[in-house]
Chains A and B, each alone.
Chain A
Amino acid sequence: NAGVTQTPKFQVLKTGQSMTLQCAQDMNHNSMYWYRQDPGMGLRLIYYSASEGTTDKGEVPNGYNVSRLNKREFSLRLESAAPSQTSVYFCASSREWASGGSTDTQYFGPGTRLTVL
């Protein structure tokens, strides 16, 4: 049981390049999330998928797109990377969405450190 996995662990891009961050979970969770973490700040939600087949914008969605490929996988795409997108990206999952119980507790992957030059 690996939990939440993310690839790659590190990535360096040039301005204007594109890339996709991959995330997978093996806990049979319904909901998945993408966050970014910048120095001195808490996590900020980029996009989330409350259930398979649905995606919604979070607090900072501009410059990103997501795909919920299936129940296990949730990818984040940067179409034209900008230096402002230099950050650490976390994927997370939870069993349910806003259940009001312990099943909406989020479990996180190890993160991807992205640098855009």
Chain B
Amino acid sequence: AQTVTQSQPEMSVQEAETVTLSCTYDTSESDYYLFWYKQPPSRQMILVIRQEAYKQQNATENRFSVNFQKAAKSFSLKISDSQLGDAAMYFCAYRSLRDSNYQLIWGAGTKLIIKP
């Protein structure tokens, strides 16, 4: 079964600096999707970025980018020019394209603190 591990329960960064959140996963499959979701204090889960495993190019969305290392099964999120509004829980998630029910498998989350 697939698993997703976020080894950093909490991270902090100075406003305007860059921070990287780690995510590793375990799978025997070659086709899958990876996601980063943000959960601010309002609790709503918001999609930050999505990566298709077959794409070698790392996904980017404005200040958010990923470092996808397929062989190492690593999927880290880099936030550049951190802003106070980036403070939230960040969840990494995996979705199989071959599993019978295509469920999202979630990591336990990393709490990101932005220091003004």
A interface with B by C-beta (< 8 Å): 40-45, 48, 56, 58-59, 88, 90, 92, 97-98, 100, 102, 104-111, 113
B interface with A by C-beta (< 8 Å): 4, 35, 37, 42-47, 50, 91, 93, 95, 97, 101-109
Alpha-carbon distance A59/B104, docked complex (angstroms) = 10
Asked if A42 and B44 make an inter-chain contact with CB atoms under 8 angstroms apart, the answer reads no
Asked if A98 and B102 make an inter-chain contact with CB atoms under 8 angstroms apart, the answer reads yes
Q: Which chain B residues border A106 with CB–CB below 8 Å?
A: 45, 47, 104
Alpha-carbon distance A102/B55, docked complex (angstroms) = 14
Asked if B91 and A97 make an inter-chain contact with CB atoms under 8 angstroms apart, the answer reads no
Which residue in chain A gives the minimum CB-CB distance to B98? Answer: A98
Asked if A90 and B45 make an inter-chain contact with CB atoms under 8 angstroms apart, the answer reads yes
Q: Given A42-B4, A42-B109: A111 and B93 within 8 A (CB)?
A: no
Task: Tell me, rounded to whole Å, the shortest Cβ–Cβ distance linking A85 to chain B.
Answer: 18
